[in-house]
Amino acid sequence: MDVMLILALALLLAWPLGAYMTGIFSGQKHWSDKVFGPVENGIFKILGVKASEGMNWKSYGIAFLISNLVLGVIAFLLLMFQHLLPMNPDGIGPLSWDLALHTAVSFLTNTNQQHYSGQAQLSYLSQGFVIVTLQFVTPAMGLAVCLAVLRGLMGGRNAKDAAEGEERDLGNYYQDTVRAVLRLMLPLAAVVALLLASQGVPSTYQASPTVPVVEQGQSLTEQKIPLGPVAAMVAIKQLGTNGGGWYGPNSSNPLENPTPVANAIETIALVLIPIAIVFMAGGLLRQRGFARMSLAVMGFLSLFCVGAAIYSEQQPNAAFSGLAEQAGNMEGKEVRFGTDLSALWATLTTQTSNGSVNAMHDSLNPVAGLVTRSGMLINAIWGGIGCGFVNFIVYVWIAVFIAGLMIGRTPEIFGRKLEKTEISWLGVLLVLPSAVILTFTAITVAIPAITGNSNPGLHGIAQVFYEYTSAFANNGSGFEGLGDNTPWWNISCVIVLLLGRYLPLVIPLLIAGLLAKKRQIPVSNGTLPLHNLTFGVTLVTVILILNFLSFLPSMVLGPIGEALELTSIAGDLK
């Protein structure tokens, strides 16, 4: 029941939010100009940019990459030297260079994979200043690229006046990014942070109090309750498809997610903007039918996975067979949430590239383990802010291409033909995930000395596969049992993170830039409609087949093999 209520609320809130986002990014006058206009103009003066000045796909892409590089270097240096900087009341030491690099890149790529342990290894400055900033800016940057791709699909902002083959205006990168932070992320995060504080998420700069425990004479005689500006960070962690929490075990920690109501707020925040982007895309493209189809496809896949994960966790954990009552899998879960809310979160967090957790994914039953990995591999069911919808458009391009071949027509989308160059680039995007994830998994599994996993057998392989999948999908959740703070893990993950973030954003930007320049063919009887059931089913099929082809063997080695293994163990016990 509470699961359905949470999903319904998320959808209900995403709708008006999508309309608001259409308003602020459409380039038309908007009521929010009165509030934010003057501040934005001040910022554009500091940046030295003319917000009205458009960029073609190349300038847009370069601005995106350069601003990332600058931010990354600054973050790396601040993390490296946190012990010399202020706001460190608990006297936390420096990070090793490889850990600092991994942490900087992981947050820069909107992944938030954590090889450090939150409250113990980062100062208030590192968490509250460096990481919170990246958690605001990186989703905004992803959204900016998504906006440029959408504008490209419509021939750019200058579509009416430009001739065929002429460079197209895909918007101003800095204007898009600044607006996304100021008009979208900041106000939402402030509201969510205060709601969370009311539920008991710490919101203070005081040092952590130490309290003697009630029953003395045990191995633990006092507890230090770790505090900090936690609520502010958790809000943007959830809203910005970031996922990097304040505390090690993320939102399973009662200080980070104290009550079921806090959990409902955090779960809604997790999917709110990714769903709103679908509504926004409909508004910006002026293609409501296409947006409805997208919503239906994503909603269908999402709900199917939620159902499977909930069913999975309601089954007993095989290790408890005969040793406890027959009830759901509570290993790694919290009593206040139970199995259903944990399974819901696990599904949504891997679909949206968020990666925060409210239960330990290592201890999930195999079917839920399969669901979480599928969400990350598809990476377009809602998806990360901006990049999720860009990935979805890539699947649409592929589906249009395949459908075009089947009916014997040149594939076209919104009146622009997909031709050889675009298809070649799509090919690169298709091969990329399996090439990167499987190569690194194979190398790491082949050398046991560098693997460092906490589980034997097939689950050991699954842990490694999960880590690289999570890095490539810029998700950030982990099978936390992995001993992953080693130079090998840090550096190999940095490479996977970078490949998984920048190529899947820049290549679609390039394709959109190329498409935009083409002559628009008027709609005719022969046009492939993108808003009906036939295309929706085609798209779902394409998404599933592509991922089966790429990853079925590794799934068999991982969760599927593990499920079979468990069935045989259960058989032995009887």
State CA 107 to chain mean position distance. Answer: 11
Stretch that binds other proteins, among 44-52, 142-150, 423-431, 489-497 (CB under 8 A): 44-52
Stretch that binds other proteins, among 206-214, 347-355, 385-393, 528-536 (CB under 8 A): 206-214
Q: Which of residues 460-519 bind other proteins (CB under 8 A)?
A: 462, 479-481
**Quick one: 245 or 282, whose CB is closer to other proteins?**
245
Stretch that binds other proteins, among 224-232, 268-276, 418-426, 521-529 (CB under 8 A): 224-232
DSSP state of 76: H
Please say whether the beta carbons of 189 and 198 come within 8 A.
no
Does residue 416 sit in helix, strand or coil?
Answer: strand
**Element containing residue 211 per DSSP (H, E):** strand 210-212
Q: Which of residues 14-43 bind other proteins (CB under 8 A)?
A: 43
Q: What's the min distance (Å) between Cβ of 458 and other proteins?
A: 7
**Quick one: 108 or 543, whose CB is closer to other proteins?**
108
Stretch that binds other proteins, among 319-327, 409-417, 484-492, 499-507 (CB under 8 A): 319-327
Q: Does 323 interact with other proteins (rule: CB under 8 A)?
A: yes
Q: Does 442 interact with other proteins (rule: CB under 8 A)?
A: no
Count the neighbouring beta carbons within 10 Å of the beta carbon of residue 503: 15
Does residue 210 sit in helix, strand or coil?
Answer: strand
Q: Which of residues 390-419 bind other proteins (CB under 8 A)?
A: none
Report the sign of the C-alpha dihedral through residues 264, 319, 304, 271, in that order. positive
Stretch that binds other proteins, among 161-169, 277-285, 371-379, 500-508 (CB under 8 A): 161-169
Q: What's the min distance (Å) between Cβ of 157 and other proteins?
A: 6
Please say whether the beta carbons of 293 and 280 come within 8 A.
no
DSSP state of 121: H
Burial environment of residue 442 by CB neighbours within 10 A (0 to 12, 13 to 18, 19 or more): middle
Q: What's the min distance (Å) between Cβ of 7 and other proteins?
A: 13
Q: What's the min distance (Å) between Cβ of 178 and other proteins?
A: 7
Beta-strand pair 416-417/412-413: antiparallel
Q: Does 155 interact with other proteins (rule: CB under 8 A)?
A: no
* From candidates 12, 37, 83, 223, binder to other proteins by CB under 8 A: 223
Q: Which of residues 114-133 bind other proteins (CB under 8 A)?
A: 117, 119-120, 128-130, 132-133
CA max distance for the chain = 82
Residue 316 exposure: Cα atoms within 13 Å on the Cβ side: 12
Q: What's the min distance (Å) between Cβ of 295 and other proteins?
A: 26
Q: Which token pair is 303? A: 């709900």
**Quick one: 124 or 392, whose CB is closer to other proteins?**
124
β-pair partners for 222: 212
**Quick one: 89 or 529, whose CB is closer to other proteins?**
89
Distances (CA, A) of 442 to 203, 375, 451, 477, 547: 43, 21, 11, 20, 18
Q: Rounded CA gap, 179 and 163, in Å? A: 30
Q: Rounded CA gap, 177 and 172, in Å? A: 9
Q: Rounded CA gap, 113 and 77, in Å? A: 19
Q: Does 198 interact with other proteins (rule: CB under 8 A)?
A: yes
**Quick one: 72 or 536, whose CB is closer to other proteins?**
72
DSSP state of 414: T
Q: What's the min distance (Å) between Cβ of 200 and other proteins?
A: 4
Q: What's the min distance (Å) between Cβ of 469 and other proteins?
A: 16
Q: What's the min distance (Å) between Cβ of 113 and other proteins?
A: 16
* From candidates 11, 19, 23, 260, binder to other proteins by CB under 8 A: 260
Q: Which of residues 334-373 bind other proteins (CB under 8 A)?
A: 334-338, 341-342, 357-360, 362-363, 365-366
Q: Which of residues 277-316 bind other proteins (CB under 8 A)?
A: 316
